[in-house]
Amino acid sequence: MLQTTIKVLLTSVLVVAIAEAGKRSSLLGAILASLPLTSLLAIVWLYADTRDSEKIASLTASIFWLVLPSLILFVALPLLLRRGVPFVPSLAVASALTVAGYFAMLAILKRLGIEL
């Protein structure tokens, strides 16, 4: 229980710190947010819990393939906002496009025989 609490607190502090940095500097916030800190934390937590290198390899390979469609959000959201679409609808549309991208990527990977 203590280990889970520490994980939640550390991860939460990281997310809040990135958001606060973004308030002060878009560049600093972007640099911090673009680092794979969440992935690194997940990898560390998984390794600490399992000590299973194959699980780590599988997780990191899956992350690689799913980062690609996640980039849709970072293209669609600023385009929509700069076209005058309000924030909430822009976020909803960009998120929906990203989800569609995930499904498309999973279908492509399945056709290529790559299992996540």
What is the per-residue pLDDT across 52-90, written as a single tens digit (0 to 9) for each?
Answer: 999 999 999 999 999 999 999 999 999 999 999 999 999
Residues above pLDDT 70, as percent of the chain:
100
> What is the number of residues in the chain?
116
Is 96's pLDDT higher than 90? yes
CB 76 within 8 A of CB 102: no
Tell me whether residue 98 is in a domain: yes
pLDDT value at position 2?
86
Tell me whether residue 73 is in a domain: yes
Tell me whether residue 8 is in a domain: no
Tell me whether residue 110 is in a domain: yes
Tell me whether residue 77 is in a domain: yes
Q: Which residues span the domain enclosing 89?
A: 52-116
- The mean pLDDT of 18-22, rounded to a whole number, is 85
Structure tokens at 51: 């000590």
Q: How would residue 95 be classed by pLDDT, with cut points 50, 70 and 90? A: very high
What's the number of domains the chain is made of?
Answer: 1
Is 35's pLDDT higher than 80? no
Amino acid making up residue 52: D
| Dihedral over alpha carbons 12, 19, 39, 78 (to 10 degrees) | 140
Tell me whether residue 9 is in a domain: no
